[in-house]
């Protein structure tokens, strides 16, 4: 078991493209760390650098306090699950799981015991004689997990292992992987571009963008206090509403024709300044009475989700989404007044997007 430490890691691909632009990161022992970010941000590259499948152009990687820069993937004591599972198509499920142990010279009884144990954990015991092509997608996924856990490695590396599954199965496997990792207590790095998967699974969330770390933290903290506009927009679905406004000395944000809202103490500016206000859809609610904190809009359309609904409203081309459990007169074309608590209005610098206050 081991933590992972990255220091000043950079990766330039042949051809000059810099996929990783300098990353420092500490993943504590036993942690489930999730790398999340949009497609092409370098998640896989970073994971493969940790695995030893790719070499860092600069910087150091340590696993369990040991610098692994000079070691190949087999010597790093890591196990990886690939997006397409990369099962050996000609080997049975048993052989797929046993191959790494065999190559490491494990004795036959030990191999059988370990495979049986992993198969029982993953509900694969009845499938050991099958070939991968005779399995469903979810079963293949579990075999790939099995191949990783039989080895009892110091570190699990998961590269989007759930992205080929349908939504229901993905939700179930999310929970199973989470539980399995807890039970084994093995440090794991899980890569995904799915923010929901990232939020639900992570002990530590690492938001990546364009080869850089945007923010590291517990999922709830990162969600509640995004460090910048990118993180704020990336986490949460539907996306946070962003509205251009002007912050005055009284701590109110003026949105022009839409109205105004009061924001937290951090919003108070000695002189008026332009800001971008971010409000999550679930933090917007219909305004009661006629207080000053209100946005006046018109309902465009409503998306019914069953337990809740998304109300899209706009005014003068500026659109907001409200996520609400309330049923009510959301008729398209009807006027709508919305409000939000001061603490739920996050402010960002219009230049650069850093969080203010």
Q: Which of residues 41-70 bind ligand ATP (CB under 6 A)?
A: 41-45
Residue 301 binds: one of ligand ATP, other proteins, Mg ion, none (C-beta under 5 to 8 A by kind)? none
Q: Which of residues 139-198 bind other proteins (CB under 8 A)?
A: 147
> Taking CB under 6 A as the rule, does residue 346 contact ligand ATP?
no
Which residues of the shown chain bind Mg ion in the complex (CB under 5 A)? 44
Q: Which is nearer to ligand ATP, 37 or 219 (CB)?
A: 37
The enclosing H or E element of 24 equals strand 18-27
**By C-alpha distance, which of 31, 35, 75, 36 is closest to 53?**
75
Q: Which is nearer to other proteins, 147 or 280 (CB)?
A: 147
Rounded Cα gap, residues 212 and 38, in angstroms: 12
Rounded Cα gap, residues 357 and 346, in angstroms: 8
Binder among 114, 140, 151, 193 for ligand ATP (CB under 6 A): 193
Q: Which is nearer to ligand ATP, 5 or 192 (CB)?
A: 192
Contact in structure between 239 and 50 (CB atoms under 8 Å): no
Q: Which is nearer to Mg ion, 40 or 185 (CB)?
A: 40
Binder among 62, 71, 86, 196 for other proteins (CB under 8 A): 86
> Taking CB under 8 A as the rule, does residue 103 contact other proteins?
yes
The size of the interface with ligand ATP (CB under 6 A), counted in residues, is: 13
Rounded Cα gap, residues 162 and 60, in angstroms: 29
DSSP code at position 106:
-
- For 37, 46, 57, 98, 124, the CA distances from 61, given in Å and listed in that order, are 21, 10, 11, 28, 34
Q: Judged by CB under 8 A, which stretch of 9-17, 30-38, 95-103, 304-312 contacts other proteins?
A: 95-103
Q: Which residues contact 138 (CB under 8 A, 6 or more apart)?
A: 165, 169, 173
- For 89, 123, 136, the CA distances from 129, given in Å and listed in that order, are 13, 14, 14
Could you tell me the smallest distance in angstroms from the CB atom of residue 193 to ligand ATP? 4
Contact in structure between 262 and 342 (CB atoms under 8 Å): yes
- For 51, 172, 256, 352, the CA distances from 19, given in Å and listed in that order, are 16, 32, 41, 21
Q: Which is nearer to other proteins, 148 or 173 (CB)?
A: 148
Rounded Cα gap, residues 340 and 292, in angstroms: 11
Could you tell me the smallest distance in angstroms from the CB atom of residue 69 to other proteins? 16
Q: Judged by CB under 8 A, which stretch of 100-108, 121-129, 166-174, 179-187 contacts other proteins?
A: 100-108
Q: Which of residues 262-281 bind other proteins (CB under 8 A)?
A: none
Q: Judged by CB under 6 A, which stretch of 11-19, 177-185, 261-269, 334-342 contacts ligand ATP?
A: 11-19
Q: DSSP per residue over 287-323, as a string?
A: PPTT-SBEEEEEEEEEEE-SSSEEEEEEETTEEEEEE
Could you tell me the smallest distance in angstroms from the CB atom of residue 19 to ligand ATP? 3
Q: Which is nearer to other proteins, 44 or 283 (CB)?
A: 44
> Taking CB under 6 A as the rule, does residue 190 contact ligand ATP?
no
DSSP code at position 41:
S
Binder among 13, 40, 67, 90 for other proteins (CB under 8 A): 90
Could you tell me the smallest distance in angstroms from the CB atom of residue 220 to ligand ATP? 24
Q: What six digits make up the tokens of 2?
A: 């081991």
**By C-alpha distance, which of 262, 244, 194, 196 is closest to 223?**
196
> Taking CB under 8 A as the rule, does residue 82 contact other proteins?
yes
Question: Which residues of this chain interact with other proteins, rule CB under 8 A?
Answer: 51, 53, 72-74, 78-80, 82-84, 86-90, 99-100, 103-104, 147
Question: Which residues of this chain interact with ligand ATP, rule CB under 6 A?
Answer: 13, 15, 17, 19, 37, 39-45, 193
């Amino acid at each position: 078991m081991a933590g992972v430490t990255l220091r000043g890691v950079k990766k330039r691909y042949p051809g000059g493209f810099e996929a990783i632009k300098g990353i420092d990161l500490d993943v504590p022992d036993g942690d489930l760390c999730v790398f999340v970010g949009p497609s092409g941000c370098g998640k896989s590259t970073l994971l493969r650098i940790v695995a030893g499948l790719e070499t860092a152009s600069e910087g150091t990687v340590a696993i369990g306090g040991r610098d692994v820069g000079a070691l190949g993937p087999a010597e790093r004591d890591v196990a990886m699950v690939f997006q397409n599972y990369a099962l050996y198509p000609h080997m049975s499920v048993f052989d797929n799981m046993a191959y790494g142990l065999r190559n490491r010279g494990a004795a036959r009884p030990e191999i059988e015991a370990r495979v049986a144990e992993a198969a029982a954990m993953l509900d694969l015991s009845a499938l050991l004689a099958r070939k991968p092509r005779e399995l469903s997608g979810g079963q293949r996924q579990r075999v790939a997990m099995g191949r990783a856990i039989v080895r009892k490695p110091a570190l699990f590396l998961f590269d989007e292992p759930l992205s080929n599954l349908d939504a229901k199965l993905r939700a179930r496997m999310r929970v199973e992987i989470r539980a399995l990792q807890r039970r084994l207590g093995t440090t794991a790095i899980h890569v995904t571009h799915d923010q929901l998967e990232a939020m639900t699974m992570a002990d530590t969330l690492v938001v990546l963008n364009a080869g850089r770390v945007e923010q590291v933290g517990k999922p709830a903290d990162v969600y509640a206090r995004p460090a910048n506009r990118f993180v704020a927009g990336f986490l949460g679905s539907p996306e946070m509403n962003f509205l251009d406004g002007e912050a005055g000395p009284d701590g109110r944000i003026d949105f022009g024709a839409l109205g105004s809202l009061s924001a937290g103490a951090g919003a108070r500016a000695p002189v008026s300044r332009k800001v971008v206000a971010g409000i999550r859809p679930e933090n917007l609610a219909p305004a009661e009475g006629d207080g000053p904190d209100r946005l006046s809009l018109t309902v465009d359309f409503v998306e019914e989700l069953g337990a809740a609904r998304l109300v899209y409203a706009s005014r003068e081309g500026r659109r907001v989404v409200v996520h609400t459990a309330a049923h009510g007169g959301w008729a398209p074309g009807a006027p709508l007044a919305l409000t939000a608590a001061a603490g739920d209005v996050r402010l960002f610098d219009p230049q650069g997007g850093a969080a203010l206050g």
